[in-house]
Amino acid sequence: MTSPATTAPASSSSPSAPSALDEVLRDLRALVANAKALAPAELAAHVLTAVMFALLFAKPFNLLLDAWWNDPNSGHGLLLAPLSLWFAYKSGSAKNTSPNRALGISMIVAAVLFRYAADLAAELFVMRGSMVMALGGLVVWHAGFKQLLHWWLPFTLVSLSIPIPEVILNTVALPLQFTASKIGASLLEWREIPVMMSGNVIRIPGQELFVAEACSGLRSLTALLSLGVLLGAMFLEKWPTRVLLVLIAIPIAILINGFRVFLTGFLVLFVSPEMGQGFMHTSEGMLMFGAAFFFTSIAAWLLGQGERLVLRRPTATGAL
């Protein structure tokens, strides 16, 4: 008599989905394989292009890195640059692209001219921007203008990471300081706190608050604009709503910064004068930026809901 056959339990280990790291390694191997398949002359042309680009734009690149690392108003570039590379990689190549040699070489030549003219004039913004323009020219040269449009998000993020010229910075910072001071003083008066305001100086009982350039909100405004572009690209489908989200981010940043001035005055008056300086003041700024990011995210969600309602709306068809 034969004993009943026992079936081995099915293995619970099934091939898992490839991780992001596996995908990157796979694409790197494919890139190396494609490079090996190139003709020697074509491979030499690619290497020469990379070397020439590195030599021509080494100074703008170093100046940009220095600004990202040392300028508090430009620190968001340390996040935007890697993000732009990641989004370019994830976006891949556009369909049905073809090189545009004439436009590509025109952009590259113009970028080189701007780079050296800006160096002679000590104009850092144009010098740094010329590097982005040259990258765009290389993309157009190799894959066409359609590929450049396909990579609009990476190039926009890189462009937003370039520090604002000092002339514009000084022109915009002062009105932002006054606006933040007015909002903060108005909120303090609403809380029935005696306030005297002179420009960007707010006087409250026993204390004097000076809304400095660092407190103008320009730093959070530039970072929030970048986040608005990023959120719009990730969660919105239509260009009008993406632009609207970026525009909405501007008053959010201004109002939140005004509330920060009010909160600083309130805490300085009722808690401790130390709340207006040092670590506590910096932590307060980070908290307020988190609030601005939250409200911008809510705006992106609401605009996304509006998009879905419009896209799902049936079109009326006349009866025949």
pLDDT per residue as tens digits for the range 275-285: 777 777 778 88
Q: 10 Å Cβ neighbour count for 138?
A: 19
Classify strands 201-204 and 196-198 as parallel, antiparallel or unpaired: antiparallel
Of 163, 190, 224, which marks where a domain is finished? 163
96 and 119 share a domain?
A: yes
Same structural domain for residues 155 and 172?
Answer: no
Number of domains the chain contains: 2
Q: Which residues contact 6 (CB under 8 A, 6 or more apart)?
A: none
If asked whether residues 91 and 172 sit together in one domain, one would say: no
Please give the model's pTM, rounded to 2 decimal places.
0.79
Closest CA to 99 of 149, 147, 143: 143
Whether residue 223 sits in one domain with residue 290: yes
| In the chain, % of residues over pLDDT 90 | 42
Using the 3D structure, point to which of 120, 143, 163 is the last residue of a domain.
163
Q: What is the dihedral of CA 207, 73, 282, 228, to 10 degrees?
A: 110
Q: Are 222 and 279 members of one domain?
A: yes
Closest-CA residue to 278 (of 268, 266, 289, 288):
268
159/274 same-domain check:
no
Q: Would residue 124 count as lying in a domain?
A: yes
User: Of 163, 178, 197, which closes a domain?
Assistant: 163
The pLDDT assigned to 310 comes to: 83
pLDDT over 60 (residue 7): no
- pLDDT on residue 25: 62
If pLDDT is split at 50, 70 and 90, which confidence band does 317 have? very low
Give me the phi and psi of 296, to 5 degrees please. Answer: -65, -40
Q: Tell me which residue of 309, 289, 177, 288 sits closest to 226, measured CA to CA.
A: 289
Residue 12: pLDDT band with limits 50, 70, 90: very low
pLDDT in tens, 32-79: 565 556 667 777 777 898 899 999 999 999 999 999 999 887 888 899
What per-residue confidence (pLDDT) applies to 33?
61
**Are 186 and 205 part of one and the same domain?**
yes
- CA 146 and chain centroid, separation: 22
Per-residue pLDDT tens over the stretch 110-159: 999 999 999 998 889 999 999 999 999 999 999 999 999 999 999 999 99
Q: Which tens digits make up the pLDDT trace of 198-211?
A: 878 888 888 888 77
Selected residue with higher pLDDT from 34 and 232: 232
Domain shared by 139 and 175, yes or no: no
- Domain range for residue 176? 167-309
Residue 243: inside a domain: yes
Q: Does residue 184 lie in a domain region?
A: yes
Q: Percentages helix, strand, coil for the chain, rounded to the nearest 5?
A: 75, 5, 20
Indicate whether 33 belongs to any domain. Answer: no
Asked if residue 145 is part of any domain, the answer here is yes
Residue 17's pLDDT band, with cuts at 50, 70 and 90, is low
Is residue 31 one of the residues assigned to a domain? no
CA dist 270 and 272 (Å) reads 6
Q: Is residue 14 part of a domain?
A: no
Q: Encode pLDDT of 245-260 as tens digits.
A: 999 999 999 999 999 9
**Cα distance between residue 164 and residue 123, in whole Å:** 11
Residues 45 and 158 occupy one common structural domain: yes
> Could you tell me if residue 25 is inside a domain?
no
Q: Is 150 in the same domain as 212? A: no
65 with 135, same domain: the answer is yes
210 strand-pairing partners: 201
Same domain, 143 and 259: no
Mean pLDDT for the stretch of residues 292-300: 94
Predicted confidence (pLDDT) at residue 105 exceeds the cutoff of 90:
yes
pLDDT for residue 270 is more than 80:
yes
What does the pLDDT read at residue 280? 74
